[in-house]
């Protein structure tokens, strides 16, 4: 079945990866792309592109509805947290389909501190975390971790490791928080301090329809594409990721999502980090949008989650035998000014002479 899709934030690296995945899923689909940045839009891989007002603008809804009518759009796909929130709020007024979790679920996932407390009350493993209401709280919180060499300081909202770094002393934490409050205008009370988790950095992406798990992919971030010189040396953007197939990891992610809504629909990706003992702990859940690594993998694999998302949203049948396919020994590589690459470990030295 042909479908006409509207993808927001077209031209951004993450949305171009999503569009590659969609095109690999079905070449018959028409993809319209939109963005409020004409330079970013110029890089879009969509079939047709449109400049729209920013999603936070009062004119956004009118213009996007006009675009949907003009292009006979069947499904709108937002692919950033701000766009997900905006489209969710106006979903009933768009004149076409969306495939998003409930608004209350999206709102809960935005606040990483509140989400952690919600999951903790339901017996799920999360890092021990405390809210920093003011810089004066920092020393008291450090005393709760007498054996820790460092703690993790982060903003409770946002994406891309915004405002996050490891700190070793209360003065370091206070200076970090005060800088972000004074220079970056982060509101007081926005930071948390939590135990530092030194183990594997993991993501599980899941697709649901009415609570049923349709598809899943998981990976480990092994190297990072660190933007803007982040002092932590890590980010949510993997430069090298290894695809995984670990049933306990999938079971934990699915349980966490169903705690939010047992009958949910849409895509989620659950970020986890292993503690000192190798136990994965949930650090955040991103609802309503795709992670980058699985969409890159989609374009090279038979198991295409982005295509499954579209078919589920439009009520089309899915041809997926098992939700989580075995993808071990497969790697995804990304870098500045390079096309993402997917390869098997067995092919790593193909055509290479080892002179070590």
CATH code of residue 161: 3.30.1490.20
pLDDT (average), residues 147-157: 91
pLDDT exceeds 70 at position 28:
yes
When pLDDT is averaged across residues 122-150 and rounded to a whole number, the result is: 94
Residue 353 lies in a domain: no
Alpha-helical (H) ranges within 195-313 are 247-260, 292-298, 305-313
Say whether pTM exceeds 0.75: yes
Domain shared by 149 and 174, yes or no = yes
Judge whether 109 lies within some domain. Answer: no
Residue 229 has pLDDT above 60, yes or no: no
Q: Are 21 and 307 in contact (CB under 8 A)?
A: yes
User: Are residues 87 and 138 located together in one domain of the fold?
Assistant: no
- Residues of the domain holding 166: 128-194
Determine, yes or no, domain membership for 111.
no
Q: Report yes or no: 149 and 168 within 8 Å, Cβ to Cβ.
A: yes
Asked, for residue 167, whether it belongs to a domain, the answer is yes
DSSP helix/strand/coil, 153: strand
Partners of 209 in beta bridges? 212
Q: Domain total for the chain?
A: 3
pLDDT digits (tens, 9 = 90+) for 91-111: 999 999 999 999 999 999 999
The answer to whether residues 137 and 90 belong to one domain is: no
Q: Residue 326's pLDDT is what?
A: 66
At 232 the pLDDT is 60
| pLDDT for the residue numbered 227 | 55
Mean pLDDT of all residues in 303-311? 94
Q: What local confidence, expressed as pLDDT, does residue 220 receive? A: 96
pLDDT attached to residue 355: 86
pLDDT > 60? residue 13: yes
pLDDT at 100: 98
Whether residue 93 sits in one domain with residue 172: no
182 lies in the same domain as 215: no
Q: Is-contact 216 155, C-beta < 8 A?
A: no
Report the relative pairing of strands 165-167 and 129-132 from DSSP bridges. unpaired
Residues present in the chain in total: 356
Question: Is residue 110 one of the residues assigned to a domain?
Answer: no
Q: Domain check: are 185 and 218 in the same one?
A: no
Q: Are residues 307 and 289 in the same domain?
A: yes
Residue 230, pLDDT score? 60
% the chain with pLDDT above 70: 95
Beta bridge partners of 167: 151
What CATH number did the domain enclosing 242 receive? 3.30.470.20
Whether residue 122 lies inside any domain: the answer is no
pLDDT digits (tens, 9 = 90+) for 250-289: 999 999 999 999 999 999 999 999 999 999 999 999 999 9
User: For position 317, what pLDDT does the model report?
Assistant: 83
DSSP-assigned beta bridge partners for residue 49: 33
Q: Which of 194, 214, 242 is the last residue of a domain?
A: 194
If asked whether residues 225 and 317 sit together in one domain, one would say yes
Residues 183 and 205 in one domain: no
Report yes or no on 104 lying in a domain: no
* Predicted local distance difference test score (pLDDT) of residue 338: 81
> Which pLDDT tens digit goes with each residue over 30-69?
999 999 999 999 999 999 999 999 888 889 999 999 999 9
Mean pLDDT of the chain: 91
pLDDT tens figures, 185-198: 888 888 999 999 99
Least confident of 103-117, 159-173, 190-204: 159-173
The DSSP annotation for 68-95 comes to HHHTT-SEEE--SHHHHHHHHHTGGGSS
Closest by Cα among 79, 80, 19, 24 to 44: 19
Domain assignment present for residue 62? The answer is yes
Q: Ranked by mean pLDDT, which of 147-161, 263-277, 301-315 comes out on top? A: 263-277
Query: Which is more confident, 119 or 234?
Result: 119
Last residue of a domain, one of 57, 76, 98: 98
Boundary of a domain, candidates 194, 229, 249: 194
CATH of the domain at 87: 3.40.50.20
Do 250 and 337 lie in one domain? The reply is yes
Average pLDDT for residues 6-20, to the nearest whole number? 95
Instruction: Say if residue 209 is in the same domain as residue 160.
Output: no
Q: Is residue 243's pLDDT more than 70?
A: yes
Q: Are residues 35 and 167 in the same domain?
A: no
What local confidence, expressed as pLDDT, does residue 57 receive?
Answer: 85
- Measured distance CA(254)–CA(215) in Å, rounded: 11
């Amino acid at each position: 079945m042909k479908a006409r899709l509207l993808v927001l934030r077209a031209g951004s690296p993450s949305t171009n990866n999503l569009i590659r995945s969609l095109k690999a899923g079905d070449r018959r689909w028409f993809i319209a792309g939109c963005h409020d940045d004409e330079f970013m839009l110029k890089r879009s891989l969509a079939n047709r592109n449109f400049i729209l007002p920013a999603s936070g603008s009062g004119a956004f809804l009118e213009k996007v509805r006009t675009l949907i009518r003009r292009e006979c759009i069947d499904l709108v796909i937002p692919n950033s947290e701000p766009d997900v929130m905006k489209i969710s709020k106006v979903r009933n007024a768009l004149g076409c389909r969306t495939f998003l979790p409930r608004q209350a679920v999206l709102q809960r996932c935005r606040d990483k501190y509140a989400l952690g407390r919600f999951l903790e009350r339901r017996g799920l493993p999360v890092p021990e975390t405390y809210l920093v209401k003011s810089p004066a709280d920092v020393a008291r919180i450090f005393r709760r971790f007498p054996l820790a060499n460092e703690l993790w300081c982060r903003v409770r909202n946002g994406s891309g490791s915004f405002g996050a770094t490891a700190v070793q002393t209360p003065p370091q934490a206070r200076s970090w928080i005060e800088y972000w409050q004074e220079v970056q205008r982060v509101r007081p009370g926005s930071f948390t301090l939590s135990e530092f988790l030194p183990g594997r950095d993991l993501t599980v992406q899941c697709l649901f329809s009415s609570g049923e798990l349709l598809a899943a992919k998981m990976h480990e971030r092994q190297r990072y594409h660190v933007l803007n010189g982040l002092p932590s040396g890590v980010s949510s953007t993997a430069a090298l990721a290894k695809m995984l197939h670990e049933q306990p990891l999938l079971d934990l992610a699915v349980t966490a999502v169903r705690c939010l809504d047992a009958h949910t629909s849409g895509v989620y990706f659950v970020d986890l980090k292993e503690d000192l003992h190798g136990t994965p702990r949930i650090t955040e859940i991103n609802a309503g949008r795709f992670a980058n690594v699985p969409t890159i993998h989609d374009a090279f694999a038979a198991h295409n989650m982005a295509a499954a998302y579209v078919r589920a949203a439009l009520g089309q049948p899915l041809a997926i035998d098992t939700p989580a396919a075995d993808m071990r020994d497969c790697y995804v590589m990304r870098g500045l000014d390079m096309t993402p690459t997917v390869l098997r470990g067995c092919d790593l030295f193909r055509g290479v002479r080892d002179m070590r």
